Amino acid sequence: MNARDPIADLRRIAFLLERANEATYRVRAFRSAAAALAGLPAAEVAERAGNGTLTELTGVGDVTARCVAESLAGEEPVYLRRLVATEGSDLDAEATALRTALRGDCHTHSDWSDGGSPIEEMALAAVELGHEYLVLTDHSPRLTVARGLTAARLRRQLDHVEQVNAALPEGFRILTGIEVDILADGSLDQDEELLARLDVVVGSVHSGLKDERAKMTRRMLTAVANPHLDILGHCTGRMVSSRPAGVTGPGDRAHRPRTRAESDFDADAVFAACAEHDTAVEINSRPERQDPPKRLIRRALEAGCRFAINTDAHAPGQLDWQRFGCERAALCGVPADRVVNTWSAEQLVEWTRARA
Ligand SMILES: [Zn+2]
Ligand SMILES: [Zn+2]
């Protein structure tokens, strides 16, 4: 039998574990083994698999070594086969159609802020999922717990993304972006000039989530009316589960799961403003967020809003969580033509540029 690519198999396992929301240390075991092997000549890997010395390498343990040996013997690793066989539930027809219509993801994090993986890893996972683009939206300066990017770091990131893009497969690109904090007065936490330069701006409330209704409504209305804001992120801020999110990042504090009530605001006024200013309402796919709740998705739909079905992924495997958002959107009757990430990268950027 022909040998398989053991590094690809290890990365696939890590991806599936992450997607299944499994513990971080499990995912890490496979990613570090893949990284360890990537640094060695193929002949040495084969030799070590043959004489049982793979586990002498830092980052390779018994389980991962067995996977490598199976791959090299031309067999699908048992670990991988089991994972594939026990994968998540099927989506119904409408949710599947919506998922198939999505061409990219507009809300993702890398290890530049509180994500667990380098930009390149996130991009490669997006390519493997069949996406045409990935909008990189690391946090803004005042979210210090999530290592929010200062203007200077964001500028460096923009240069870096340009380099990464040059090395990615034809037909795929990383779009630049930010998840900018909506500050107490509704202003956005980044330099105006940078916000104008970015391809996509997602704005979210991460602080003062218990502000009283009138204040929170004013705050959100101000943000939504800002021409730089393209997408209103996880608008209620709720957390529906305290299940570990399987995040591989050092912090992920901004998205640390804990049960939290919805913020109190005049949703009809905010959605009317979103429709008026053509600001899209995010349907956040994270299992612990499920934000906005279905009753509010229906109201945003009635108000005439556009939507973006995003993962808010902090790790590569989480990029496949769009299915959860699609499921909720489909239940609420959101049609594909109201969803901005069913557009091509060109159409998406044309839309955001026309807005600001
Ligand atoms: Zn957020
Ligand atoms: Zn986020």
The string of pLDDT tens digits covering residues 317-333 is 999 999 999 999 999 99
pLDDT score of 21? 82
For 83-129, what is each residue's pLDDT tens digit? 888 776 677 889 999 999 999 999 999 999 999 999 999 999 999 99
CA of 255 to the centre of ligand 1 (A): 6
pLDDT score of 168? 96
Q: Which of 8-12, 24-28, 43-47, 284-288 has the lowest mean pLDDT?
A: 24-28
Domains (ranges, CATH) in the chain?
A: 6-85 (1.10.150.110), 93-354 (3.20.20.140)
Tokens of 254: 């901004």
In DSSP notation, 267-296 reads: HHHHHHHHHHHTPEEEEE--TTT-BS-HHH
Q: How far apart are the first and last CA of the chain?
A: 57
Among candidate residues 235, 311, 307, the one with its CA nearest the CA of residue 270:
235
Q: If you search the block for the tokens 């490669």, which residue do you land on?
A: 124
Name the pLDDT band for 24 (thresholds 50, 70, 90): confident
Which letter, b or e, does each residue of 89-111 get, where b requires 16 or more Cβ atoms within 10 Å of its Cβ? eebeebbeebbebbbbbbbbbbb
Ligand with the closest atom to the CA of 115: 2
For 83-92, what is each residue's pLDDT tens digit? 888 776 677 8
CA of 51 to the centre of ligand 2 (A): 45
pLDDT score of 23? 82
pLDDT score of 87? 73
Interatomic CA distance for residues 352 and 196, integer angstroms: 10
pLDDT score of 139? 98
% of the chain exceeding 90 in pLDDT: 87
pLDDT score of 19? 86
Interatomic CA distance for residues 115 and 137, integer angstroms: 10
Average pLDDT value for the chain: 93
Q: Which of 22-26, 65-69, 74-78, 228-232 has the lowest mean pLDDT?
A: 22-26
SS3 203: strand
pLDDT score of 356? 65
Q: Which amino acid is at 323?
A: R
Q: Which of 106-115, 254-263, 293-302, 330-339 has the lowest mean pLDDT?
A: 254-263
CA of 179 to the centre of ligand 2 (A): 6
pTM score of the predicted model: 0.83
Among candidate residues 133, 225, 121, 118, the one with its CA nearest the CA of residue 182:
225
CA of 115 to the centre of ligand 2 (A): 9
Among candidate residues 78, 199, 216, 74, the one with its CA nearest the CA of residue 135:
199
pLDDT score of 103? 98
**What residues contact residue 250 under an 8 Å CB cut-off, 6+ apart?**
111, 114, 116, 147
CA of 328 to the centre of ligand 2 (A): 19
Q: Which of 22-31, 247-256, 339-348 has the lowest mean pLDDT?
A: 247-256
Ligand with the closest atom to the CA of 239: 1
User: Please, are residues 91 and 37 in contact by the beta-carbon 8 Å criterion?
Assistant: no
Q: Which of 23-37, 88-102, 196-210 has the lowest mean pLDDT?
A: 88-102
Q: Is the pLDDT of residue 175 over 50?
A: yes
- Cα dihedral 27/33/36/41 (nearest 10): -130
CA of 262 to the centre of ligand 1 (A): 14
Whole-angstrom Cα Rg for the chain:
21
pLDDT score of 256? 54
Q: Is the pLDDT of residue 202 over 90?
A: yes
Q: Which amino acid is at 3?
A: A
For 145-170, what is each residue's pLDDT tens digit? 999 999 999 999 999 999 999 999 99
Helical H runs in the chain? 6-19, 24-38, 42-51, 62-72, 78-85, 93-101, 119-128, 151-167, 192-197, 213-225, 267-277, 294-303, 322-331, 345-355
Strand partners, 204: 181
Ligand with the closest atom to the CA of 235: 1
Please state at what angle helix 294-303 crosses helix 322-331, rounded to 10 degrees: 70
Name the pLDDT band for 82 (thresholds 50, 70, 90): confident
Averaged pLDDT, 255-273: 88
Ligand with the closest atom to the CA of 310: 2
CA of 28 to the centre of ligand 1 (A): 24
Q: Is the pLDDT of residue 252 over 50?
A: no
In DSSP notation, 97-145 reads: HHHHH--EEEEE--TTTT-SS-HHHHHHHHHHTT-SEEEE-PBPTT-GG
Name the pLDDT band for 248 (thresholds 50, 70, 90): very low
pLDDT score of 355? 80
Averaged pLDDT, 259-268: 96
Interatomic CA distance for residues 44 and 17, integer angstroms: 28
